[in-house]
Amino acid sequence: MGGVSSESAGGPADRLEALIRGRVGLRARIDALAGQELARLARARGLGLAEWVDRLEGGGLEAAADWDAVVNLMTVQESSFFRDRGQMDLLRQRILPEILRRTSPSAIRLWSAGCATGEEAYTLAILLAEASGGESLGQPEVILGTDVNGVALEKARRALYTAWSFRSVDQSITDRWFEPGQLPGSLQPLPGVRHGVRFQQVNLMDPQAPDQVGRATRDLVLCRNVLVHLEEEAVPTVVANLVACLRPGGCLVSAHGELRGRVPSRLAVEVHAQSVVYRLLEAPPGAPLPRPAARPILSARPPTLEAHPPTLQAHPPTLQARPAALLQGLSPPGDLLDQARECGDLGDYTRAQALCSKALEQDPTHLPAHFLAAQLAESRGDRNEAFAHLRRILYLEPDSAGACLEMAALHDAQSEPEDAERLRGSARQLLRQMPADRLVSPYDMSAREILGEIQG
Ligand SMILES: C[S@@+](CC[C@H](N)C(=O)[O-])C[C@H]1O[C@@H](n2cnc3c(N)ncnc32)[C@H](O)[C@@H]1O
């Protein structure tokens, strides 16, 4: 059964790729699998591929449903709750409290742009509820989640999530903010969280996007792991649309490095320990915009335990009482690692790193310590070190599917989809070879569960 990927230059596959690039900005490559699916869609309409692509190019009502199917096929839906611990800490400890100080709670508006299946939008809702000290957001539609992929948005509205979506979430968060969903084994955000989130289909390349979302209405725009999938030429259009929706003083946050070298001059660059934040410069009505900061504004030192007494109170007092003893190496690696994770949760990356290094000094083969070290390195943007730890894991345990998946995620973030997919392929192979019930580090999920989530 023929696909479309083998078409010659200028054939239907090339035209379709160009159409996808032009309309949604995606760096689309129609591979054999996608080609077969597209050929199937064309056949279902009783059309040859070239005619079908003609019809898509022509637009119109009939083509709209097929166009949605193309977009759904070509977009990458990978997401999870509290993805990137460092950025989540930054939002929790600095950005959201600051927004709450500047804006009355009823007026706050946040946007998760390219929200896929909704995990990021609900994460924002939970972080905002935590920052405002409430059990729920109170207001409806405080958070808008948008995506070009309608199927993903349906899942976001249904809000039923399996363990895979919680792979970077502490149990305390699921206990507090989620309840069992209707599907066996699924969890759903509490009604107070869901109530605050609305989803809408928006194509970030569309000139109408700022009007659909609301010009100058957003205190925070999160657009993470979206720009990496776009053509270089599409990025300025998308970024301009995102910035058009920011209020003066509002913040744009992308995944690490996604905006590097492509920051519009109206944005000031703030460098925090956990992430870079782009802030729309304030301007009084009618006044010319001030000049952007000539160089990045370095935030105060990374938040330390001492700087955040309220957060500390929520955690066991052991951190204050024992760090000196811990750093002298009196605890076994597992204990050091637990303490390192707690420090990471509190945003104290310096101590988390020190504890993790100590654990590795004591036992250089300690795989969980390498996983944590990789995560900490990624949080501070040091991908080389993150890769080094993951490669070490593979050296020590060649069948570590978890290391392959973590490396795949790093490649995703570096805009290297082919490397990412190759590693996911290796992970699939390793997972199929192991007993289906075996728990896979660092996720605490079984091989069967993970395979169910990453089937290619
Ligand atoms: C990898 S997911 C990122 C999900 C989430 N932001 C996160 O970081 O976990 C990328 C999402 O961007 C969406 N996307 C890609 N191009 C888009 C466009 N032109 N307009 C809106 N969404 C787009 C895709 O449909 C996909 O759901």
Mean pLDDT computed over 275-288: 68
Task: Answer whether residue 274 shows pLDDT above 70.
Answer: yes
Residue 117 CA: which ligand 1 atom is closest? 27
| CA 446 – CA 359 distance, rounded (Å) | 26
> For the residues 245-271, what does the mean pLDDT come to?
87
For the residues 392-420, what does the mean pLDDT come to?
Answer: 85
Distance 287 CA to ligand 1 centre (A): 35
Q: Distance from the CA of 133 to the center of ligand 1, in angstroms?
A: 30
- Angle, helices 32-44 vs 49-58, to 10°: value is 80
Q: CA–CA distance from 408 to each of 33, 183, 204, 289 (Å)?
A: 20, 29, 25, 41
Nearest Cα residue to atom 17 of ligand 1: 148
> Which atom of ligand 1 has the smallest separation from the CA of 255?
8
State the sign of the Cα–Cα–Cα–Cα dihedral 53, 56, 62, 66. positive
The domain limits of the chain are 12-74, 85-297, 309-454
**Residues 142/110, Cβ–Cβ less than 8 Å:** yes
- For residue 174, give both structure tokens: 């699921």
How close is the Cα of 142 to the center of ligand 1, in Å?
20
| Closest residue by CA, ligand 1 atom 3 | 225
Report, as an integer, the average pLDDT of 408-417.
73
* Partners of 271 in beta bridges: 276, 298
Residue 456, pLDDT score: 54
Check if 85-297 and 309-454 are the same fold.
no
The CATH architecture annotation of domain 85-297 reads: 3-Layer(aba) Sandwich (3.40)
- Amino acid (one-letter) located at 27: R
The minimum-distance atom of ligand 1 relative to the CA of 119 is 9
**Model confidence at 451: pLDDT above 70:** yes
Contact of 405 with 423, CB cutoff 8 Å:
yes
Nearest residue (CA) to ligand 1, atom 12? 114
How confident is the model over 424-432, as a mean pLDDT?
92
- The ligand 1 atom at the shortest distance from the C-alpha of residue 23 is 19
How far apart are the C-alpha atoms of 266 and 286, rounded to whole Å? 15
Residue 288 Cα, ligand 1 centroid: separation in angstroms?
34
Q: 2 is written with which tokens?
A: 């023929």
Of the pLDDT bands very low, low, confident and very high (cuts 50, 70, 90), residue 345 is low
- What is the Å distance from ligand 1's center to 114 Cα? 4
Average pLDDT of every residue of the chain = 82
Give the pLDDT confidence score for residue 332 in this predicted structure: 80
Query: Does the pLDDT value for residue 181 go beyond 80?
Result: yes
417 alpha carbon to ligand 1 midpoint, in Å?
A: 14
pLDDT at residue 346 in the model: 61
From the CA of 132, how far away is ligand 1's center (Å)? 28
More confident residue, 194 or 281: 194
Q: Which protein residue has the closest C-alpha to ligand 1 atom 27?
A: 116
pLDDT band at 413 (very low <50, low <70, confident <90, very high): low
| Atom number in ligand 1 closest to CA 223 | 6
Q: Within 6 Å (CB) of ligand 1, which residues are found?
A: 24-26, 75-79, 83, 114-116, 120, 147-149, 152, 203-205, 224-226, 229
Two tokens, residue 46: 């009783």
Looking at ligand 1, which residue's alpha carbon is closest to its atom 7? 79
pLDDT at 2 > cutoff 70: no
Q: Which residues contact 16 (CB under 8 A, 6 or more apart)?
A: 4, 28, 30, 38, 53, 56, 70
The residue whose CA has the least distance to atom 13 of ligand 1 is: 114
Hey, what amino acid is at 392?
A: R
Q: Is the dihedral of CA 106, 109, 110, 111 positive or negative?
A: positive
For residues 408 and 417, what is the distance between their CA atoms, to the nearest angstrom?
8
| Lowest-confidence region among 378-387, 428-437, 445-454 | 445-454
Arithmetic mean of pLDDT, 86-93: 88
What's the mean pLDDT in 369-392? Answer: 87
* CA 269 to chain centroid: 20
The preferred substitution site among 200, 212, 226, 235 for testing ligand 1, maximizing ligand atoms within 8 Å of CB, is 226
Q: Which amino acid is at 7?
A: E
* CATH number, span 309-454: 1.25.40.10
pLDDT value of residue 314 = 28
* Cα 22 to averaged position of ligand 1 atoms, centre (Å): 16
Which atom of ligand 1 is the closest one to the Cα of 71? 25
State how beta strands 143-147 and 197-201 pair: parallel
Write out pLDDT tens, residues 28-63: 888 888 888 888 989 998 988 899 999 998 887 778
Residue 112 has pLDDT above 90, yes or no: yes
Token pair recorded at residue 102: 């500047």
Q: Find the 229 Cα to ligand 1 centroid distance in Å.
A: 8
> Residue of the nearest CA to atom 9 in ligand 1?
79
| pLDDT value, residue 82 | 93
* Better-predicted residue by pLDDT, 439 or 2: 439
Q: Which of 144, 148, 167, 416 to mutate to test ligand 1, by most ligand atoms within 8 A of the CB atom?
A: 148
Ligand 1 centroid, distance to 144 Cα (angstroms): 14
Q: Over the stretch 182-237, which tens digit does the pLDDT of each residue have?
A: 988 899 999 999 999 999 999 999 999 999 999 999 999 999 999 999 999 999 99
pTM: predicted TM-score of the whole model, two decimal places: 0.72
Segment 297-337, tens digit of pLDDT: 333 223 322 222 222 222 222 223 333 333 444 578 888 88
For residue 218, the CA-to-ligand 1 centroid distance in Å is: 18
